[in-house]
Amino acid sequence: MAGSWGLKKSLVVAAIVVATVASFLYPSRGCRFPAIYNFGDSNSDTGAASASFGRLPPPYGETFFAESLGLPLVNAYLDSIGSNFSHGANFAASGSTIQPVNAKIYGAGFSPFSFNVQLLQFEQLQDRTEELYTQAEISEITSKLPKPEDISQALYILDSGQNDLYYGLVTMTRKQVNESIPYIISQFALFIEELYQLGARAFWIHSTGPVGCLPYSVIYFPPKPENMDQNGCVKSHNEVATEFNRLLKQRVSQLRVELPDAVLTYVDIYSAKYSLISEANKHGFIDPLGYCCGHSGDYYVQCGKKAIVNGTEVVGNACSDPSVYISWDNVHYSHAANRWVAHQILDGSLSDPPISLAQACHKPVNS
């Protein structure tokens, strides 16, 4: 999200879903993805917002995912310092939307790096890579770039929609939000079609999560009893997310017919996250609607920021043990929660069709 919930609060700790993918790029069986390209928002931003708008202060990054992986973490495309794109690139940026950013969306604090801009960045990387590979004398540069032939063999991960929904929820009526969803889905489909025209073939497409269970929703849209579900989440917000996901899944199914050479896997992130919230204690988490970094209540301080409260400076520090919270700050999942979610989706049990990530380059036999 953006504004008071986004650009300055983007979670630059690596999105575990993106990072974990790297460990599956060279499986003993199944697909061999030479690269991954990720598109989305702060849920999978590994440095774009920080590189573009100034480095985020600690404690952001303190639980950066640094376990041993099959390949290096995919670098943010906008982070030019020390980046290596030989195994792909991450175009996701905090506060970004699927729909193109207009003056109203930008004025509400959302990022200018919407999907259409991320596509332009991908095209730039593709075009410049092809140009540089024709110049044999600069092999030291091409060693940090993907091979041109990897474009059609790479895995393309798409995770976005949360910001589009929140923009609607804070600026529109519920009816208007629902009416806006088909347009957002059409832009999502157009993005996939354009990636396909550029050579992309294997897509791993995430649904949006239960936005009504984010601490931000519960704090700033405190639900009345009739608008609260059994877990204390904002029911109407989750209903909007559910409708978005229904139409996205439907459109992905249509795209399988329209893009015959593509393999499109729809991944039900919503179910994984809602399951974690419903059974938080069972999985070692406390206070499923609470969060680790920042403070809200009698006063509010952003994670990593300072504020003056009753003449005294207070800091939005992190909790002592982030691993026991589902949410890191009030809009982003923690390292531990993202890792749990990743483990739920990699085997394909929450996917349509039900194929694992290691098989995401293959069409199901009956397709």
What whole-number distance in Å separates Cα of residue 5 and Cα of residue 113? Answer: 16
Could you tell me whether strands 351-352 and 263-267 are parallel, antiparallel, or unpaired per DSSP bridges?
antiparallel
The residue among 109, 334, 112 whose CA lies nearest residue 214 is 334
> Which position has the token pair 């920042």?
294
Q: Do 83 and 143 meet the contact criterion of CB atoms below 8 Å apart?
A: no
The tokens for 33 are: 């993805």
- Helix (H) or strand (E) segment spanning residue 20: helix 16-22
44: annotated active-site residue: no
Q: What φ, ψ does residue 232 adopt, rounded to 5°?
A: 90, 5
28: annotated active-site residue: no
Distance of CA 311 to the CA centre of its chain: 38
Distance of CA 103 to the CA centre of its chain: 23
Could you say which of 10, 42, 180, 327 is catalytic? 42
Could you say which of 329, 334, 335, 351 is catalytic? 329
Could you tell me whether strands 351-352 and 36-40 are parallel, antiparallel, or unpaired per DSSP bridges?
unpaired
52: annotated active-site residue: no
The residue among 14, 31, 17, 16 whose CA lies nearest residue 154 is 31
The residue among 238, 243, 246 whose CA lies nearest residue 210 is 238
Could you say which of 206, 237, 295, 332 is catalytic? 332
Would you name the residues annotated as active-site residues?
Answer: 42, 329, 332
